[in-house]
Amino acid sequence: MAEREAELRKRAKQIRLAIFDVDGVLTDGSLWFGPDGEALKVFNILDGHGLKMLAEEGIATAILSGRSSPAVTKRAAELGIAHVIQGATDKRVEFDRLRAKLGVEEAQCAFVGDDLPDLPVMQRCGLAVAVANAVELVKAAAHYVTDAPGGRGAVREFSDLVLAARRA
């Protein structure tokens, strides 16, 4: 157990870029629709503060989502997330573009996901994280599975993990 925790801290300490899926990670995965058919999303304040703390520590943050939503664009702007990729049909391709743009190695990247489209990126990151409510295949591929579910503190839990490793 101690060896596994030491390996997790080592991986977390290397992170320079943290990438997050949206639906099921930054939200609980529910889709609500307004009276005009617009998709509504609910974001967790604790998760948002965790993202801000990562940025304050010099860790780049990014959103990589298969869906597109004005709510995500607005929330990312509020949190100062400069790298927002929405409507991604191949997350692996977008991951490579982002890494090249920022000049970071795979081992310096973390990805927090919940479903099968996230696996190709998770399998290449130095720190792959699944939220508690992720599908089993994603959990099996993760270096760490959060106790909190997506949209309910999982991102904050991840942020605290990375920041604690850097300060140790």
Strand 109-113's sheet: what is its strand order? 83-85, 60-64, 17-20, 109-113, 127-130, 144-145
Report the amino acid identity of residue 75: R
Rg (CA), the chain: 15
Report the amino acid identity of residue 29: G
Please answer whether residues 92 and 124 qualify as being in contact, where contact means their C-beta atoms are separated by less than 8 angstroms: yes
Dihedral, CA of residue 52, residue 79, residue 39 and residue 67, to nearest 10: -80
Asked if residue 96 belongs to a known ligand binding site, the reply is: no
Asked if residue 118 belongs to a known ligand binding site, the reply is: no
For residue 40, give both structure tokens: 């509504």
Report the amino acid identity of residue 12: A
Binding residues: 21, 23, 114
Annotated binding site for Mg(2+): 21, 114
- For the annotated binding site for substrate, the residues are 23
